[in-house]
Amino acid sequence: EIYSLHVDCKVTSRFAHTVITSRIVNRANESREATFEVELPKTAFITNFSMSIDGEVYPGIIKEKAAAQNEYDTAVSQGQSAGLVKITDRKLEQFHVSVSIAAASKVTFELTYEELLKRQLGKYELLIKVRPKQLVKHFQIDVHIIEPQGIHFLEADGTFMTNELTEALTKVQNETKAHILFKPTVDQQRKNSELDETLLNGDFVVRYDVKREATAGDIQIVNGYFVHYFAPQEMPVFPKNIVFVIDRSGSMAGRKIEQTMDALLKILQDLRPEDHFNFITFNNKVVEWKSSLLPATEENVASAAALVQTLTARGGTDISGALLAAVAVLDGAQRLPERSVSMVVLLTDGQPTSGETNVEVIQEKVQKAINGKYALFCLGFGFDVSYKFLEKMALRTGGIARRIYENADAALQLQGFYQEVATPVLMQIEMQYPENSIEGLTKNNFKLFFEGSEIIVSGKISNELDLLPVEIKAQSHTSDLTLKEEANVKEKEQVFQNQRYIFGNFMERLWAYLTIQQLLEKAISAQEEDQKALEAQALDLSLRYSFVTPLTSMVVTKPSDQQQKELANKPTEAG
């Protein structure tokens, strides 16, 4: 039985550090398996795990993946076990370990993971999956947030909340800090008085946003590391020129094509009058709805909606032909708004089976045709797509790839994705810092900035600077912008100094987390020799800061009377 389950989360300037501690006692009079199962966000990196059984501690050790695999293979000659981490849904992966404990023994499991919260549609979201599968005597979720910019709004909720459970939730906040505590009693956890079943099954979510005063963003500095957050408010929106490229091959038949139709009908309603758009549908044939881009007038939108409702799915998949046709439509477009953003949105659920089928050739052709002019967004529907291929193609053009999970809310996932890219407000953003005083600068050039998101740049201040000057250059719909700001290093260092509960090197870890994420993303679309160099850098940081990333593994050792070693690897969307 789990007699205590604590989730302790500290969010310091968007960087979330979560520790989950589960204490289990074996009340039977013989040995039993004790299981620890946690679902954590895919965007997080595990940084620590330990088991202590009757006072003896068994820590997880993070090593380079190949070295860990060798050690594991030596320990387990009787075939491979499944590994401790697997993807469970669109946002989560699951860490699962079990250990056999003697009668009346106790075991404590502790897992730590970290992530940088990403602003989407105007808010940060901290997701804690709650699924104890039994009533727990001491259950609590403890979230501390500290945001020097000030907390603009804050909400906490659970998908499993009832009136009784709401009473177990408290929220205290002032200007820059918040504390959320969810501590239901055993009675409050019960489904009903007769059964020992728990109501706690679902998502506990904290959403918030920060105040933004300064136009050139906000700079924070701790122990010589800085982070710069930039999310300008109330900017005019660029008109979009958007070509939707929709797969209607045989495998899309049924539920997928219906959900695609639902989502497209909603997306059409969201187009702005100044936007221009076109549709290309494809199976083994590529069909353009119109020969050129049309303005998103009421009439044109209605006529497109009528077309969407007639979509049927059959035939092969000519991804290459469809994308090249989309690029040609944008290339040939006339009388478009002078300052506007052009993009191609591809939705497909399979591999290329007709026209050009070699994915490398398709990538080359598409990249060459786009030639840096447009962003390509690739949505892969389900698990028969080559996600790697879509991701590489998107990243090479400054776009992004997403997997759409085939379940009830697929249409919402499609709409949600569109909303994120629907309002571009800046393009060609350059974040400039004094070159000779900054080391290890993360990515500082961005192709597009969408309203509701946030640009984050981090680095290390190398010499004794008193003032850190920054300059941001970007194009908005109405003008070219130059924003300047100077941060007083000593003053900024003071901000976090007197904070009791934050962990001291969080800013350095934030920098390392962001750097690793960006190196891995860059490696996806790089040429082979560059890829090796980028991965070597990411591996070095993963080991130095002990993160379980796709390049490292955690070796978990168990007591000597059991299968001795297990591996925790980081799964990726591309598999």
Let me know if residue 542 belongs to a domain: no
In contact, 459 and 223? CB cutoff 8 Å: no
Domain match, 400 and 299 both:
yes
In contact, 230 and 294? CB cutoff 8 Å: no
Let me know if residue 522 belongs to a domain: no
Domain match, 312 and 397 both:
yes
Q: Residue 73: what pLDDT?
A: 75
Q: Which residues have CB under 8 Å from 574's CB, separation 6+?
A: 387, 388, 391, 524
Nearest to 486 by CA among 465, 511, 468, 502: 468
Domain match, 258 and 130 both:
no
Q: Residue 279: what pLDDT?
A: 96
How many CA atoms, within 13 angstroms, populate the side-chain half-sphere of residue 480? Answer: 3
Q: Residue 408: what pLDDT?
A: 75
Let me know if residue 496 belongs to a domain: no
Question: Packing angle between helix 506-525 and helix 387-396, nearest 10 degrees?
Answer: 100
Domain match, 383 and 301 both:
yes
Domain of residue 160: give its range: 2-211+554-558
Token couple for 345: 């949105």
Q: Residue 20: what pLDDT?
A: 98
Let me know if residue 365 belongs to a domain: yes
Q: At 13, which CATH number?
A: 2.60.40
Let me know if residue 312 belongs to a domain: yes
Domain boundary pick from 406, 424, 440 = 406
Q: At 368, which CATH number?
A: 3.40.50.410
d(CA 400, CA 390): 9
Nearest to 181 by CA among 160, 165, 199: 165
Q: Residue 77: what pLDDT?
A: 53
Domain match, 177 and 68 both:
yes
Domain match, 310 and 179 both:
no
Domain boundary pick from 351, 379, 406 = 406
Which residues are registered as beta bridge partners of 125? 207
Domain match, 73 and 200 both:
yes
Q: Residue 70: what pLDDT?
A: 83
From residue 427, alpha-carbon distances to 275, 388, 445 in Å are 16, 27, 10
Q: Residue 75: what pLDDT?
A: 64
Q: Residue 500: what pLDDT?
A: 57
Q: Give the type of residue at 538.
A: A
Domain boundary pick from 371, 406, 441 = 406
From residue 317, alpha-carbon distances to 238, 249, 397 in Å are 33, 6, 22
Helix (H, G, I), strand (E, B), or coil: what is residue 570? coil
Dihedrals phi, psi of 409, to nearest 5 degrees: -100, 25
Domain count, the chain: 2
Domain match, 122 and 261 both:
no
From residue 527, alpha-carbon distances to 364, 530, 575 in Å are 12, 6, 20
Token couple for 546: 């002990």
Nearest to 13 by CA among 548, 513, 538, 543: 513
Task: Going residue by residue through the chain, which has 575 residues, state the pLDDT in tens, using 9 for 90 and above.
Answer: 899 999 999 999 999 999 999 999 999 999 999 999 999 999 999 999 999 998 899 999 999 998 888 877 776 654 445 568 888 888 999 999 989 999 999 999 999 999 999 999 999 999 999 999 999 999 999 999 999 999 999 999 999 999 999 999 999 999 999 999 999 999 999 998 888 899 999 999 999 999 998 789 999 999 999 999 999 998 999 999 999 999 999 999 999 999 999 999 999 999 999 999 999 999 999 999 999 999 999 999 999 999 999 999 999 999 999 999 999 999 999 888 889 999 999 999 989 999 999 999 999 999 999 999 999 999 999 998 999 999 999 999 999 999 999 887 899 999 999 999 999 999 999 999 998 999 999 999 999 999 999 999 999 998 788 999 999 999 999 999 999 999 999 999 888 876 655 566 899 999 999 999 999 999 999 988 999 999 999 999 999 999 999 999 999 988 877 767 888 899 888 77
Instruction: Please give the model's pTM, rounded to 2 decimal places.
Output: 0.94
489's enclosing H/E stretch is helix 489-495
Strand residue runs (E) in 70-150: 85-87, 92-101, 106-116, 124-130, 138-146
Q: Residue 557: what pLDDT?
A: 85
Domain match, 45 and 144 both:
yes
Token couple for 178: 């918040």
Domain match, 321 and 381 both:
yes
**Total residues found in the chain within this entry:** 575
d(CA 4, CA 109): 11
Domain match, 182 and 306 both:
no
d(CA 537, CA 544): 11
Let me know if residue 444 belongs to a domain: no
- DSSP state for residue 562 in the 8-state scheme: S
Domain match, 188 and 265 both:
no
Let me know if residue 428 belongs to a domain: no
Let me know if residue 378 belongs to a domain: yes
CB crowding 470-492: b at 16 or more within 10 Å, else e:
bebebebbeeebebebebebeeb
